[in-house]
Amino acid sequence: MSLPAKLGLGFAGVAGASGAGYLGSKLIKGESKETFRTKYSKAIIDTTKDSDTWSKKLTALADTNSSPKHSKLIQAKQAKTTNSGSNDTSLLRQGCEEIYSKEIGNDHDLQDFKNFCSFNNEDKIASGKELIKSKEDFSSHWNSFKGSNKESLYDGFKQVFEQKGSSATENDWQQKMLDECKKIASDIFSEEIPNFTSFCTKATAQAGAG
């Protein structure tokens, strides 16, 4: 075999090995998938504590309209439904712990995570405040809302801003605000949303006040 031919084979061998190495590297890298724990780190509920939050999630799980998919969450719902007085969150915590380690990509896992296994924006409302649940309560926020810079508003509020009238009672502004606040409240928490805090919350009613 001529020298050029041998050199050609040599280069081909090096290229082949290099290509195989690159492919192998890509495959190895591909094995490292993003999980719920890594993607939504700020929304993870500690399964060894946060008892009040877990009790709240168990109540949501036991709702007749809930439809969990993970086997342990289904068991937790059945147990709570059978014994409504029980507040045993162990099955719920176990199921959520398993979901935290799962790879992102399964819609059923995402819905279980969002609805029963994660902090949402409402969960992160500061002490002393609560989510507004009556459209009439938005009247006190009208002046600050109408004076806002539309571009500084959080997503859905921009559309509400564009459709507002000249008063809090025009163009069903209060109902639109209530709907948008409910939507944001149920979203997975990632960071504080200033517009949500200022427009969607009010001071908690003091027990025994009045």
- pLDDT of the residue at 31: 59
pLDDT of 75 reads: 97
Out of 19-33, 118-132, 182-196, pick the least confident. Answer: 19-33
- How many domains does one find in the chain? 2
- Domain of 182 in residue numbering reads as 129-203
Structure tokens at 79: 């147990």
Residue range 65-102, pLDDT digits in tens: 999 999 999 999 999 999 988 899 999 999 999 999 99
Q: What are the E-state strand segments in 21-126? A: none
DSSP 62: H
pLDDT tens per residue, range 143-154? 999 999 999 999
Phi, psi of 202 (to 5 degrees): -145, 165
Same domain, 112 and 133: no
Q: Is 17 within a domain?
A: no
- Please indicate, yes or no, if residue 163 is contained in any of the structural domains: yes
Same domain, 133 and 167: yes
The percent of residues above 70 in pLDDT, for the chain, comes to 82
pLDDT at site 24 = 46
Mean pLDDT taken over the chain: 88
Is residue 80 domain-shared with residue 139, that is, in the same domain?
no
- Using the 8-state DSSP alphabet, how is residue 116 labeled? I
- The residues, any chain, with a CB within 8 Å of residue 15's CB and separated by 6 or more, are none
- Whether residue 206 is predicted with pLDDT greater than 70 in this model: the reply is no
Mean pLDDT, residues 107-125 taken together: 98
The predicted-structure confidence for 153-166, as pLDDT tens digits, reads as follows 999 999 999 999 99
Residue 196 falls inside a structural domain: yes
Mean per-residue pLDDT, 20-26: 45
91/76 Cα distance (integer angstroms): 5
Among 90, 117, 144, the domain boundary falls at 117
The answer to whether residue 30 scores a pLDDT higher than 90 is no
* Per-residue pLDDT, 85: 86
* Residue 41 and residue 98 share a domain: yes
- Examine residue 75 and state whether it is found in any structural domain, yes or no: yes
Q: Are residues 145 and 105 in the same domain?
A: no
Q: Is the pLDDT of residue 9 over 80?
A: no
Q: What is the pLDDT of residue 32?
A: 66
